[in-house]
Amino acid sequence: MARSRGYRPGGKPFRLSASAIGQWDCKYSGYLTYMKRRKPPYEDTINTVFGTSFHEVIDMAMKHNRVDPLFLERSFFIQFDRNVAKAKMEPRDFRRVGRFRAMIPDMVANTIDICEASGLLRRPPVELEKKHILTYRGWQVAVIIDLLMQDETGCRHVFDWKTGQAVNWDEGRPLTAEDVDGNVQLTLYHVAVHKIFGRPPASLNLLYPRDTLRLSLAPRERTHFRVLSQKMDRIIDCVEEFDRTGSRKLFPTAPSADNCRFCPHKDICSDLCRDALKPPKRPQAQLGRSWGKKKRRTAQEAIKQGIQIRIPKQEVVADA
């Protein structure tokens, strides 16, 4: 057992992250990615390239206090073109580059609207894209917090940028706080801030510039710690048992639309869920607009109309 805590498949340390924990919902996918170190034929998608470019630009802008339309838009175009040039994407993704470039002006305008409405420009951030290492049962878990802010009362607030659309694709409706309440990434943010600063964050926020949306959730201590410990125990028990027995049978597939839709190993999996290949449902009320042709709004109009802030009631947890 002790040997598996230093397990180094392929000579690399076995370190978990939010994406790794989520991918282990299908043990076969986790086995291929983090133990066999299998690289898919195409490592990138146009969505990941677009998201990476946005995160690099917004982090640089907030770090140097340059959150203005001209700087953001110019930097976004330059960084996106650089990342496309070195990406390993499918041909169909390269054909969509022009469409994503057309989104950049609206993404920039919406980002500034969200920053204004959420008060992100009133004070400097506490942390930007800082990595923290948590330890669980002797295993390392890497947590990178996009943005950590502190208000005038000393309470800390976690913000995470999402460049996708705020949509529940399986049901074809706008995303709600209930859809992301058990999100592994938010759970890790909650645990990391609690461990580092001695108290949990006041709120966990997801920011969606494409839909000018902010989802704000209160940390739920018992639920989040229980969900994370269950997922971590499942992974560690599997890997430790594999280290002891070498049995491949410990890693069955778990086909489902959620697990298979973005799995990088669809090309070799024989149990692929058919629903994952169907086109997702698109709620017309939210996604029917044409990007690149939308009329710009002022920040004041966005605060009054566009920014939807959904905050459920905070869970009161009694001391054990």
- The answer to whether residue 61 sits within a structural domain is yes
Q: Does the residue 95 lie in any domain? A: yes
Does 255 score more than 80 pLDDT? yes
Residue 249: per-residue pLDDT:
84
How far apart are the two ends of the chain, measured CA to CA in Å?
31
Is 9 a residue whose pLDDT tops 60? no
Q: What is the pLDDT of residue 306?
A: 46
Ranked by mean pLDDT, the top range of 71-75, 120-124, 135-139, 211-215 is 71-75
Mean pLDDT of the chain: 80
Which pLDDT band holds residue 8 (cuts at 50, 70, 90)?
Answer: low
Given pLDDT bands bounded at 50, 70 and 90, which one contains residue 301?
low
157 SS3 class: strand
Q: ∠ CA(41), CA(184), CA(203), 5° rounding?
A: 135
Per DSSP, what are the bridge partners of residue 214? 207, 309
Q: How far apart are alpha carbons 224 and 70 in whole angstroms?
A: 40
Query: Is residue 70 assigned to a domain?
Result: yes
Q: How far is CA 313 from CA 33, 205, 282, in A?
A: 38, 14, 29
Min mean pLDDT across 88-92, 125-129, 221-225, 266-270 is at: 221-225
Predicted confidence at residue 258, as pLDDT, reads: 77
pLDDT (mean) for 2-27? 66
pLDDT on residue 266? 83
Which of 115-129, 176-190, 195-209, 295-309 shows the lowest mean pLDDT across its residues? Answer: 295-309
Mean pLDDT for 169-195 is: 82
Please indicate, yes or no, if residue 93 is contained in any of the structural domains. Answer: yes
What pTM value is reported for the model?
A: 0.79
Q: Picking from 27-36, 248-257, 289-298, which range would have the lowest pLDDT averaged per residue?
A: 289-298
The whole-number pLDDT of residue 93 equals 92
Residue 283 lies in a domain: no
Cβ count near 107 (within 10 Å): 21
Residue 60 domain boundaries: 42-122
Number of domains comprising the chain: 1
Residue owning tokens 């009133």: 122
In a domain, 277, yes or no: no
Q: Which residues of 196-211 are buried (b: 16+ CB within 10 A; e: fewer)?
A: beeebbbbbbbbbbbb
* Sign of the torsion formed by the C-alpha atoms of 59, 211, 42 and 38: positive
What is the mean pLDDT of the segment spanning 297-320? 44
- The verdict on residue 82 lying in a domain is yes
**Pair 14, 238: CB distance under 8 Å:** no
**Integer Cα distance of 131 and 259 in angstroms:** 26
Give the Cα separation of 118 and 151 in Å (integer). 11
The residue-averaged pLDDT of 117-123 equals 86
Say if 260 falls within a structural domain. no
Q: How far apart are CA 216 and CA 45, in angstroms?
A: 28
30-69 in b/e burial notation, b at 16+ Cβ within 10 A? Answer: bbbbbbeeeeeeeebbbebbbbbbbbbbbbbbbeeeebee
